Amino acid sequence: MHKKFNITGICRPAKHYMADVSGKLAKVIRMIESGDYFIINRPRQYGKTTMLYSIAAQLRKRDDYMVFNISFEGIGDAIFEDEKVFAPGFIRLLQTQAKIHSPELLPFLEEKEADVLNLESLSDALSYLLSKTDKNVIVLIDEVDKSSNNQLFISFLALLRNKYLAQDEVKTFHSVVLAGVHDVKTLKLKIRPDAEQKYNSPWNIAAEFKVDMNLHPQEIKPMLDEYAADRGVKMDTQHIAETLFYYTSGYPFLVSKLCKMLDEGDSPLQNPGEWTDLDIQIAVQQLTYENNTNFDSLTKNIENHLELYNLVYRIAIDGESFPFNPHNPTINLGVLLGIFVNKDGLKIHNRIYNEVIVNYMAIKVLETQLPPSNLDKTYKNGDGGLNMEAVLLGFQSFMKKEYSKKDRDFLEKNGRLVFLAFLKPIINGSGYDFKEPQISDEKRLDVVITYLKEKYIAELKRWYGPKAHAAGLIQLADYLERQNLQEGYLLIFDHAEVKNWHSEWTEVQGKKILAVWV
């Protein structure tokens, strides 16, 4: 049976093509060997569960370790409401592990289940359990922030902390590893004011987890090497690994998803049996319009936090630049949710997320602000290609018509987003567009449009005067040269009191550029 690319649950080397994360695993194992108490806090579908599985598998090969790898996922919320339910429930989770990996402890755990009625008796049972073995006992708990707003959960974290701290007095856990979206130090907990001591205590000993969980090209390449050899697929694995990283910034779910789409034919290859740059690009575009739980979570998280929505808008749509400040609560929330990253300043984590976000915001405009639009023959050339001059002039005409006192504030604030919404029904079915924020004095947004395999470059920018405009024309000409194109398009948003509804063709460095003011 062939291996496959996996995007759900645990990745297993015998069944799935996997990136080489041995370097990351080694760093985590060293933290455990040092006896650290820490949390692997990363966004959803970031490889946390697979990392815990790999830790357990590696340490169980050693005679000096006993590992309990459990998860709070799938056990329901009711268990966290009453310690009389939680305490024996936790013992049952340990029993499940003991049946397979430590059968000598199973009789004791089964005997103790009836006696464990609260956290205090759970603590006593764990102490006795730990005294029954000479091995270093490791406890790994996945989805640890599942009920982080619950007082019982806080008390349980305090129990783990107290057990861990008691290692100089009695036999206790050698290391505690938790996994969840949130860092233990930033969990949003509903807690009584008189319990401040308990609020702080569960995590004031936690070691900082600094292991980079993104997949880098050198880690993606071995996965592609194995796949290409197994399936007889032709590809430059180093280059394809770099291309995957270019679009995903190493977000594990996105890397595996693109590979899965190409392998299983969800994104058909241009030349069967070969992966190329164009195949990756087309798969990326298809993915950005797909509905999946990862993207649903992304947009829901943005929609549910107004300050986060506004900051994301200013970065993804307006191309604004912000310094990275992890102490800012909105920025920190965006980092925890996998939306932001520090790349010489605050950026959207990866190009696919940036595209999904822009599409999501554009669709909202399309649904609420723009009238229905269909692909009109006036937007096509004689050969069926896209007539970009007609598109830009059509948008200018639309803006001039809609630009009234009633709509002015909206259009000036959201003009670039309105253009992206205007563009979608025109290219739908025959092409796709990709947005690239370019941070500069003009706050440009490049829109790279592929229509029937022809490429068009349009830059969206604000008007900052003739000097900035001249510099912008040169920048666009340079970009056209790199893309091996002779024509480019410049859509200029002029927010002057008296609008300049103007357009002109200009030749710059041998390139023809159409500039259209709106």
pLDDT, tens digit, 9 for 90 and up, residues 160-192: 888 888 777 778 899 999 998 776 555 544 334
Output the pLDDT for position 367.
67
- In angstroms, the first-to-last Cα distance of the chain is 58
The amino acid at residue 395 is: F
Dihedral over alpha carbons 264, 265, 270, 275 (to 10 degrees): -10
Output the pLDDT for position 509.
96
pLDDT of 151 > 80? The answer is no
Place of tokens 């200009």: 506
pLDDT band, very low/low/confident/very high, at 410 (cuts 50, 70, 90): confident
Q: Compute and round to an integer the Cα radius of gyration of the chain.
A: 28
Name the pTM for this structure. Answer: 0.85
Going by C-beta distance under 8 Å and a sequence separation of 6 or more, which residues neighbour residue 46?
213, 251, 252, 253, 338
pLDDT of 381 > 80? The answer is yes
Residue-wise DSSP of 148-183: TT-HHHHHHHHHHHHHHHGGGTS---SEEEEEESS-
**Which is it for the CA torsion 249, 251, 256, 258, positive or negative?**
negative
pLDDT band, very low/low/confident/very high, at 378 (cuts 50, 70, 90): confident
Q: How far apart are CA 123 and CA 120, in angstroms?
A: 5
> How many C-beta atoms surround the C-beta of residue 438 within 10 A?
15
Output the pLDDT for position 439.
45
pLDDT band, very low/low/confident/very high, at 198 (cuts 50, 70, 90): very low
Nearest residue to 468 (alpha-carbon basis) of 429, 492, 442: 442
pLDDT of 406 > 60? The answer is no
CA 101 to chain centre: 34
- Residues belonging to the chain: 518
Beta strand pairing call for 511-517 and 487-493: parallel
Which tokens belong to 352? 């696919």
Output the pLDDT for position 96.
93
- The domain spans of the chain are 22-203, 217-288, 308-368, 371-518
Output the pLDDT for position 4.
97
Which tokens belong to 233? 């697929």
> How many C-beta atoms surround the C-beta of residue 162 within 10 A?
13
Q: Which residue has the higher pLDDT, 78 or 37?
A: 37
Which tokens belong to 31? 């933290």
Output the pLDDT for position 50.
96
Output the pLDDT for position 508.
96
Q: What is the pLDDT of the chain when averaged over all its residues? A: 86
pLDDT band, very low/low/confident/very high, at 196 (cuts 50, 70, 90): very low
Output the pLDDT for position 441.
44
Residue 217: strand, helix, or coil:
helix
pLDDT band, very low/low/confident/very high, at 147 (cuts 50, 70, 90): low
pLDDT of 229 > 90? The answer is yes
Going by C-beta distance under 8 Å and a sequence separation of 6 or more, which residues neighbour residue 416?
317, 318, 445, 460, 493
Place of tokens 């730990």: 130
Give 30: exposed, middle or buried? Use CB within 10 Å, 0-12, 13-18, 19+: exposed
Residue 208 DSSP code: P
Which tokens belong to 136? 């270093």
pLDDT of 473 > 70? The answer is yes
Q: How far apart are CA 340 and CA 323, in angstroms?
A: 12
Q: How far apart are CA 70 and CA 79, in angstroms?
A: 15
Which tokens belong to 167? 């290692």
Among 41-50, 120-129, 433-442, the range scoring the smallest mean pLDDT is: 433-442
Q: Which residue has the higher pLDDT, 231 or 444?
A: 231
The amino acid at residue 378 is: T
**Which is it for the CA torsion 421, 425, 426, 427, positive or negative?**
positive
Among 39-48, 190-199, 256-265, 269-278, the range scoring the smallest mean pLDDT is: 190-199
Place of tokens 């073995």: 133
Which tokens belong to 268? 């058909």
Look at the domain 22-203 and name its fold: Rossmann fold (3.40.50)
Residue-wise DSSP of 337-368: TTSEEESSSEEES-HHHHHHHHHHHHHHHHHH
Output the pLDDT for position 132.
86
Q: What angle do CA 144, 146, 147 make, to 5 degrees?
A: 105
Place of tokens 């909206």: 410
Output the pLDDT for position 423.
86
Residue 146: strand, helix, or coil:
coil
Residue 89: strand, helix, or coil:
helix
* pLDDT tens profile 34-47: 999 898 989 989 99
Output the pLDDT for position 318.
80
User: What CA–CA distances, in Å, run from 379 to 266, 398, 518?
Assistant: 30, 14, 19
Q: How far apart are CA 84 and CA 74, in angstroms?
A: 19
CA 93 to chain centre: 30
Q: How far apart are CA 362 and CA 356, in angstroms?
A: 10
Give 291: exposed, middle or buried? Use CB within 10 Å, 0-12, 13-18, 19+: exposed
Quick one: angle between helices 351-368 and 237-248, nearest 10?
40
Residues 202, 182 contacting (CB under 8 angstroms) = no
